[in-house]
Amino acid sequence: METTYDVRIYKTGVYKGERTTTYYVRWSVAGKRWKAPYKTAALAESFRSELVSAARRGEAFDVETGRPVSMARAQQEMSWYQFACAFVDMKWPRVAATTRRTHAEAMTAITASMYTTRRGMPDEKLLRSALCRWGFNTVRRTDPNMPPEVREALRWVERNTRPVASLAKPEVLRPLLDALAVRLDGQPAASSVVGRRRRILNTAVEYAIERQLLRSNPIPALKWKAPKAVQTVDRRSVANPVQVRTLLNAVREQQRSGPRLVAFFGCLYFAAMRPEEAVAVKTHNLSLPEKGWGEITLEKAEPHAGKEWTDTGENRDSRHLKQRVRGETRIVPSPPELTALLHWHIGEFGAASDGRLFVGERNGAELPKLTIVRAWKRAREEILTERIAATPLVKTPYDLRHAAVSTWLNGGVPATQVAEWAGHSVEVLLKIYAKCLDGSHVQLQRRIQAALGAVRDGWP
């Protein structure tokens, strides 16, 4: 390491762009000028103060990195695994349980590209499980009951990952980004998954800059493009009312949990609820007449995250509504068919002690996600032909929400009203959910045929 005491530290520069203001700490080492960008003046001043303090102590500066020797040494020594653990720990208290799990999955995929060797490497499946479920879980990482094989796997990772500073090298960063775009079986990963992992990596890099482990973000300079994410609903997944009612009847016939789920799926289709919103509906949220149109006030959502990621130890996390601030509600309509379905459900099964409508069979326990998925999969297999079942038609319960919004739009309901009911902005609604019903193209073909005039043998 070549060092020098020829150091000059200048006044912080400020660049005011159209969207944001950037603060640059500027200094020179052995005649070479350096600068470090920061998003806030406080961060810039903090870093500048460290440079000034090091210079006043008479500390040598590294010519290659431009940093004080102590800072350069820390930058070189901190491994990616240590940093990744610090990153998820920093995020943990302020994010939802599902986001905690998403961070862990992304960090696991990234870490797999940061190994320095494969010598002595544990089984890859064990390694991924150890990282995702233990290493990148803030609570479980220090669990004294951690299995010995998991503990040893994490020790191997800690000994054999590159330093964070190596991300600045294109020969390290580019293979890492390429690996994020591939599944474990070698097939291309979904564009949404790739985009999400890249965004998390970018956030982690920004945190590394804040921790002074990187001088700047190397990702934009690499000119690596993630595959474009599909932002529209597949038209083939949107079912028409006859298809949905047939599937709901198939769910009703399933024993034992089927009858308990009919009204749940009905909320997804007739009121365009998200599954995590429907499971959180309680009796006091209902404003229903005996017959006809009613209203349902949605207060919160309970997405399934897994008990390893929630603060309560429950599988579902209690969150505010999507696209809403905490405490804000959303009112959705209850068409006569859903009103009757909900009255039947309450009369047949009642409600849990806390008022929840949709619960599991055992003592009012939470409605398991696996029960929902299995019931819907079985209904599709029983009702749809083999050819239709192979298509995306209502492949998941969430597709019922897509069908509901498409039905409203195609029925002539103003987009502003649909957006309010669905909990979306109008822009997002028209970009993603405005899809035609399955079979509605037949009417359009007839209109076109009428406009073209009568034909015989393919010719007028």
The per-residue DSSP string of 279-343 comes to: TT-BGGGEE--SSS-EEEEE--B--B--TTTSSSSSSB--BPPTTS-TT--EEEEE-HHHHHHHH
Handedness of CA 48, 51, 53, 55 (dihedral sign): negative
pLDDT for res 349 = 92
In this prediction the pTM is: 0.75
CA angle 175-181-187, nearest 5°? 115
Q: What is d(CA 30, CA 7) in angstroms, rounded to the nearest whole number?
A: 6
Quick check: 113 and 181 in contact, CB under 8 A?
Answer: no
Q: What is d(CA 422, CA 425) in angstroms, rounded to the nearest whole number?
A: 9
Residue 24 tokens read as: 């640059």
Ramachandran quadrant class, 292 (left: phi over 0; alpha: psi -120 to 50; beta: rest) = left
List phi, psi (to 5°) of 29. -130, 120
- How far is CA 279 from its chain centroid? 19
What DSSP character marks residue 95?
S
List phi, psi (to 5°) of 330. -140, 135
Fold assignment, 235-433: hpI Integrase; Chain A (1.10.443)
Full pLDDT tens readout for the chain, 460 residues: 688 999 999 999 998 887 788 899 999 999 999 988 888 888 889 889 999 999 999 999 988 878 888 876 655 578 999 999 999 999 999 899 999 999 999 999 999 999 999 999 999 999 999 999 999 999 999 899 999 999 999 999 999 999 998 999 999 999 999 999 888 888 888 888 898 999 999 999 999 988 878 878 999 888 887 767 666 777 888 889 999 999 999 999 998 889 999 999 999 999 999 999 999 999 999 999 999 999 999 999 999 999 999 988 899 999 989 878 888 899 999 999 999 999 999 999 999 989 999 998 876 678 899 999 999 999 999 999 999 999 999 999 999 999 999 889 888 888 899 999 999 888 888 777 655 544 556 666 777 777 877 555 555 4
pLDDT for res 387 = 92
Quick check: 43 and 23 in contact, CB under 8 A?
Answer: yes
pLDDT for res 437 = 47
**First-last CA distance in the chain:** 86
